[in-house]
């Protein structure tokens, strides 16, 4: 339990440093977006895990991603500046990409608690044109 608390504290510190760096770099308008991204992703994953429209396999991957992100054991230690949270971000990105292949985007949007523009940016990162074409026909 102690290791988990230490990992959460280190993650929070790295997160706060990133937000502070954005403000110092003159990109203060991006700081609130970054500050709210992690809590919004956590709430998104939690809502999607409970949603009956999400396939069981995707729920398993969401649980895996949540455990990976919360785990104190990482491929890249969290205390490394910039690259520390990279493995967590990659796992979250891969799970979101899979989720968008198996679940309708409206379901994801329904569980998003942040600004719609941020969700649009995230979804554009995982643009799946072949999936969009199949759904529109």
Task: State pLDDT tens for residues 1-53.
Answer: 677 677 667 767 766 666 676 567 665 555 566 567 777 888 888 899 999 99
Closest CA to 65 of 100, 99, 104, 37: 99
Quick count: other Cβ atoms within 10 Å of Cβ 129?
7
pTM: 0.63
Close Cβ partners of 47 (under 8 Å, ≥ 6 residues apart):
110, 111
71 pLDDT more than 80: no
Domain ranges of the chain: 2-136
The Cα 92–Cα 119 span in angstroms is 14
Cα–Cα distance list, 76 to 42, 72, 80, 97 (Å): 21, 10, 7, 22
């Amino acid at each position: 339990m102690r290791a988990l608390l230490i990992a959460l504290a280190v993650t929070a510190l790295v997160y706060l440093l990133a937000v502070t760096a954005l403000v110092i770099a003159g990109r203060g308008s991006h700081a609130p977006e970054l500050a709210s991204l992690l809590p919004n992703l956590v709430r998104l994953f939690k809502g999607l895990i409970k949603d009956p429209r999400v396939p069981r396999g995707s729920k398993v991957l969401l649980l895996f991603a949540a455990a990976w992100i919360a785990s104190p054991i990482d491929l890249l230690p969290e205390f490394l500046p910039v690259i520390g949270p990279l493995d967590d971000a990659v796992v979250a990105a891969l799970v979101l990409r899979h989720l968008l292949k198996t679940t309708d985007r409206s379901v994801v949007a329904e569980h998003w608690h942040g600004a719609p523009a941020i969700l649009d940016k995230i979804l554009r990162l995982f643009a799946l044109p072949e999936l969009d074409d199949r759904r529109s026909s």
